[in-house]
Structure 1
Amino acid sequence: MSISPSPRSDIRAVAKAVKDSKAPAISRAAAILRLLGKSDTPLGVQAIARELGLVPSTCLYVLRALTEEELIAFDPDTKRYSLQAGVLTLARQWLRRDQFSDLAQPVLDRLTQTFGATMLGVQLVGLDHMIVVAISQSGRNLQLSTQVGSRFPALISATGRCIAAFGDYPEAELETRFRALRWDEPPSFSEWQDQVSQARVQGFAVDEGQYIAGVTVIAAPVWKAPGRPIHALVAIGIGGALKRGGLNALSEALVAGAQTLSLQMGGERSPA
């Protein structure tokens, strides 16, 4: 089984962000980099402009600038663009600064081996989105098409309930963003609020088939400093298989792993 964020909906969101941006040049460049990063093959000017809703001449101008900065590469034979190795210099600086990925990986591997669940370490970016920064694949039943760098809507599934539970965000803003989410079996906003309250009390959240039918997702927040959590550990598996393997035990182990990482990173859980 394969799980991934909807590429079309993600591209539409990027295109809207470009349109609404107050710094359009920067937004266009970022959108092009993200699009090329998601594409399995190089893309031409017309394809990039069409996907992002850009005027082709404007798109070409940005592509040339990014090529000069060695962030993307241009193939003169095919007239197509792809990411260049220069993006690695940006990623390397982030990896040096953020220790979560290195600390989380052995925790994820241990949980995957013990419970047979696919495990993710994600970075939380406010109410905008979450980004996968570490992953441990299970060899059983469920396989994720997700990769490091994949982005998901912030409030979706179990992780989204944790973001809402511990983020101290205005209810009106949460509801507006909640209404835009796409679920297989969507809860009402009232039901979702109850689940958020439960996550605040127990320290983790569970999504049993609402985000993706038949799939259970468990998430526990990780703190780097007092305030809102900026990372989370996430377990994903077929609902029936996780129950047979001990859903409560997995939840407890996930919370324990998140607490250990919080201590290692100098953070602590915010008061409920």
Structure 2
Amino acid sequence: ALGIVPSTCLHILKTLDHDGLVSEDKANKKYQLGPALLRFARDMVGSNDFVRNVQGVLDRIAKSHEVTTVAVWHEGADRIIVVAKANAPTNFSIHVNIGSRFPALTSAIGHCFAVNFEGNLEHLRESFEELKWQDPPLFTDWVKDIAFAREHGYAVDKGHHIRGVTVVAAPVYAAVAGTTRAIAGVGLYEQLTGAARTALAEDLKSSAVALSETYSESIIRRPV
């Protein structure tokens, strides 16, 4: 109808996919609106399966553990974007905006995504050197944190990305695409120590597992 050559159309879609404006469904090879569009239109919040399912989870965890919670989506090649959030029910909390973008391997959330590249140390080192930290860890310690995330199903950043702030994250898997989403709790370092940090980590982990099952089932049920 538009008179566009199919190869040109595919090239345009691949470019939009790279920038996160559309997202390819690996199960049926179809494209849908991508998370980067949250910067321009909030309509996606009501129509995207993951965003719709995750909001209640974020609200509950934020209330139970008195932390700010976020859900992120791996956008394009090297960025993550915040697609949902819930504020801590306290007078003071960490503020995060929906639509905020960060390097994909940032903080504890980055540990979850870095598992995808765990066998490629050269790629990890290049990515590590490009990250901005307020209290940079050693590369060897960062790699150990990635291995911890793979083994335990959650990751922790105790003040490296932002001094005085602890981030705990857990990956959300899809049946076909692997780890492309994650949920996280963000709080003050003094607040998230010992048992409080462990309880948050276990809650995020179990919630991420449940979301993974729900999200994967929605992909499988989606008509071709």
Q: Supply the distance in 1 between the matched residues of 2:171 and 2:92 (Cα, whole angstroms).
A: 23
1:207 aligns with one of 146, 157, 175:
157
Shift of 1:166: 3.6
User: 5+ unaligned residues in a row in structure 1: which ranges?
Assistant: 1-22, 31-86, 268-272
Between the two structures, name the one with larger relative contact order (CA 8 Å, sep ≥ 6). 2
Q: Is the 8 A contact 1:162 1:221 kept in 2?
A: yes
* Contact residue 55 and residue 86 of structure 2 kept, 8 A: yes
In 2: Cα distance, 1:162 partner to 1:244 partner = 21
The TM-score with structure 1 as length reference comes to 0.61
Q: 1:142–1:238: 8 Å Cα contact kept in structure 2?
A: no
CA distance in structure 1 between the partners assigned to 2:149 and 2:110 by the alignment: 10
- The TM-score with structure 2 as length reference comes to 0.74
CA contact (8 A) 2:70 2:84 kept: yes
Q: Which runs of 4+ in 1 moved over 4 A?
A: 94-97
Is 1:240 aligned to residue 202 of structure 2? no
1:124·1:131 contact (CA, 8 Å) conserved in 2? Answer: yes
Mapped pair 1:160 → 2:110: yes
Listed as ranges, the matches of 1:119-268 within 5 Å are: 119-125=69-75, 127-140=77-90, 142-167=92-117, 170-243=120-193, 246-266=196-216
| Residue pairs, 1:5-154, within 5 angstroms | 87-88=40-41, 92=43, 94-95=44-45, 98-125=48-75, 127-140=77-90, 142-154=92-104
Structure 1 CA distance for aligned equivalents of residues 200 and 46 of structure 2: 31
Aligned-pair CA distance for 1:96: 6.1
**CA RMSD in angstroms, aligned pairs only:** 2.6
Deviation (angstroms), 1:110: 0.5
User: What are structure 2's unaligned runs of at least 5 residues?
Assistant: 1-11, 20-39, 218-224
Distance in 1 (CA, whole Å) between partners of 2:45 and 2:165 is: 31
Q: Matches of 2:174 and 2:191 in 1, distance apart?
A: 32
For 2:209 and 2:199, locate their aligned partners in 1 and report how far apart those are by CA, in whole Å. Answer: 15
Is this contact kept in 1: 2:71–2:82, CA < 8 A?
yes
Q: Is 2:155–2:169's contact at 8 Å kept on the other side of the alignment?
A: yes
CA distance in 2, matches of 1:190, 1:245: 26
Partner of 1:6: none
Superimposed CA distance per residue, residues 87-109 of structure 1 (whole angstroms, 9 cap, x where no aligned partner)? 43xx53x4466311110000010
CA contact (8 A) 1:223 1:231 kept: yes
Displacement, 1:164? 0.7
| Deviation at residue 222 of structure 1 after TM alignment | 0.3
Give the drift of 1:169. Answer: 6.4
- 8 Å CA contact 1:208, 1:217 repeated in 2: yes
1:116 positional shift: 0.2
How far is 1:156 from its partner? 1.0
The amino acid across from 1:261 in the alignment is L
For residues 95 and 117 of structure 1, what CA distance do their matches in structure 2 show? 22
Identity percentage over the alignment? Answer: 34
Partner of 2:5: none
- Give the partner amino acid of 1:206: V
SS of residue in 2 equivalent to 1:211? coil
Q: Distance in 1 between matches of 2:102 and 2:92?
A: 19
Letter in 2 for 1:179: E
